[in-house]
Amino acid sequence: MSSARLQTALARYDRLYINGAWVAPEDGGLMESIDPSTGQPWALVAYGGPRDIDRAVAAAREALSGPWGKMPGHERAALMRRFADVYAKHAADLAVLETTDSGRSIREARADIGGHSNGYHWWASLADKASGRTIPFDSSVHAFTTRVPVGVVGAITPWNVPLMAAAWKLGPALAAGCTVVLKPAEQTPVTSLELGKLFEEAGFPPGVINIVPGYGQGGAGERLVTHPDVDKIAFTGEGATAKAILRAGTTADTLKKFTFELGGKSPHIIFADADIEQAMNAATNSAWTLCGQSCALGSRVIVQRSVYDRVVADFVERAKKVRVGQPLDPATHMGPQAHHEQLAKTLAYIEHGRNDGAELVAGGNRLNGGAYGDGYFVEPTVFAKAHNKMRIAQEEIFGPVAALIPFDDEEEAIAIANDTPYGLTAGLWTGDTGRAHRVSSRIDAGMVWVNTYRFIRWSTPYGGFKGSGWGRENGIEALDSYLQTKTTVIST
């Protein structure tokens, strides 16, 4: 196809959403968004530059002293509920767009995005609940606290789950009364821009939500984190990026608040006394979820030696049954990797696994040609005889690659589980209640699941220990991070 014909076939998202209007980028431009199932561009998308971020931040600041800033919590809640209902109406279309932009399977996208409206309702229910307290003194003073919004929030999201990452930030930010500049990742920006239409339909005042896709270093992302008028950055992405953000001189100068939701290398421990069938369902499902591109992936499967061979054999059987294919096909379990760099990274780690002496027992190859065309598909991959010091066990691959590591006893399982720079999530399967308590209490992770996996709700705080982040998303804890305490003392 000639490039001229290709251009006319592309969907156009050529405006940024700033101050309640759809505007052309001032110092950004247009970028192509790639459909990873074909390797071809499918949309032309506006991206913002530093001046566009400046416009968005100014609008967000002004909105704090406009109707939104003056709105009592219950009215904010009503508006948020309206948005949640609008979201529910469009959820099916959003799922199709996110699948096209990111390659995640439509069955996963529907299940995930279909639940976001509930999340926005949950956050709406908290919009009028932030209360302070009275501090006893004597009759000459009245001292009390109020909880007030932190102000303008820069929300920076990753490419793997753009709508979920946005919901986890927008929900608590709006419930707290903040205003937001949302900067989605350059690889999957489309559905975040769609959110602008939904906020318009719900009747949000201008400037409360601004959406500016863009690049990170040297682009919109860097301007947002260094902007003096942004009060908080809510960031989800890689640890290396978080460190770069903290090191950037002008970021430090502005003394912002930060929450960081970073990567993981989650242990999934299976004891011999577990319900092995249930454990296998969870372990294999978690290994291929989002084509392996999930921060909560239980990709280090730590298995008691007496059931190790059985688990390896079952993993291999189940890997063969994963239907890898066109992500919009409802029968597909696993789509392609979301972009070409991630495909290359996953394939490189499969090489590391081989070179480091792990035994490749399933998958290991890119799938292309034929029905896969030039898409970024990879086979579900399983390594047996893995050791925790191998790179495939220590580093976040973000691909559908499971490393199966044997252990002998509880102490060894805990030692292996904690032998990682990460501490986001962990899974533990056992039929012994005492062991469930003993082991879970010693795992260094922000979220430990026992006899379940990936149980994530709006009400359950989520976030990392160690190199997996700062702060929490979801739960009341998340709301707290968008509020600050103000103490007022009135002399009577």
Q: Which residues are identified as catalytic?
A: 261
- The kind and range of the H/E element at 3 are helix 3-9
Q: Does 194 bind ligand NAD (CB under 6 A)?
A: no
Beta strands in 229-353 (DSSP E): 232-236, 257-261, 267-270, 300-304
Smallest separation, CB 454 to ligand NAD (Å)? 12
Give 35 or 69: the residue with its C-beta nearer to ligand NAD.
Answer: 35
Nearest to 481 by CA among 469, 466, 467: 469
CB of 339 to ligand NAD, least distance (A): 9
Pick the binder of ligand NAD from 60, 319, 397, 424 (CB under 6 A). 424
Contacting ligand NAD within 121-180 (CB under 6 A): 156-161, 165
CB of 213 to ligand NAD, least distance (A): 8
For ligand NAD, which is the closer residue by CB, 177 or 399?
399
Site size toward ligand NAD (CB under 6 A) is: 31
Q: Which of residues 296-355 bind ligand NAD (CB under 6 A)?
A: none
**Residue owning tokens 């290359």:** 344
Residue nearest to ligand NAD (CB): 216
Indicate the residue among 350 and 447 with the shorter CB distance to ligand NAD.
Answer: 447
Q: Please count the residues of the chain.
A: 492
- Kindly indicate which of the ranges 97-105, 182-190, 269-277, 453-461 contains the residues binding ligand NAD, using the contact rule CB under 6 A: 182-190
CB of 251 to ligand NAD, least distance (A): 8
Q: The sheet that has 209-211: what strands, in order across it? A: 21-23, 16-18, 209-211, 179-183, 152-156, 232-236, 257-261, 469-470
Q: Give the footprint of ligand NAD on residues 431-490 (CB under 6 A).
A: 469
Beta strand pairing call for 381-384 and 401-407: parallel
Cα 470 to Cα 461: distance, rounded to the nearest angstrom: 12
C-alpha to C-alpha distance for 410 and 435, rounded to whole angstroms: 8
What is the rounded radius of gyration, in angstroms, for the C-alpha atoms of the chain?
Answer: 23
Tokens 């968008």 -> residue: 482
Report residue 101 CA to chain centroid gap.
15
Give residue 320's identity as a one-letter amino acid code: K
Binding to ligand NAD (CB under 6 A) within 385-404 occurs at: 396, 398
For ligand NAD, which is the closer residue by CB, 154 or 177?
154
Q: Which is nearer to ligand NAD, 148 or 244 (CB)?
A: 244
- Residues whose CB is less than 8 angstroms from the CB of residue 214 and which lie 6 or more positions away in sequence, other chains included: 28, 47, 48, 49, 52, 53, 183, 186, 220, 221
Taking the complex as a whole, how short is the minimal distance between the CB of residue 413 and ligand NAD, in angstroms? 23
Q: Cβ of residue 2: shortest distance to ligand NAD, in angstroms?
A: 31
- Closest distance between ligand NAD and the C-beta of residue 135, in Å? 36
String of contacts with ligand NAD for each residue 224-263, x by CB under 6 A: -x----------xxx--x--xx---------------xxx
Mind giving me the DSSP string for 57-117?
A: HHHHHHHHTSHHHH--HHHHHHHHHHHHHHHHHHHHHHHHHHHHHH---HHHHHHHHTTHH
Taking CA atoms, 117 is separated from 85, 89, 90, 479, in Å, by 7, 9, 10, 17
Residue 304 bridge partners (DSSP): 407
Options 30-38, 173-181, 215-223, 305-313: segment touching ligand NAD (CB under 6 A): 215-223
| Matching residue, tokens 């280090």 | 300
Select the residue interacting with ligand NAD from 63, 279, 287, 295 (CB under 6 A): 295
Residues at the site binding ligand NAD, with contacts judged by CB under 6 A = 156-161, 165, 183, 185-186, 215-217, 221-222, 225, 236-238, 241, 244-245, 261-264, 295, 396, 398, 424, 469
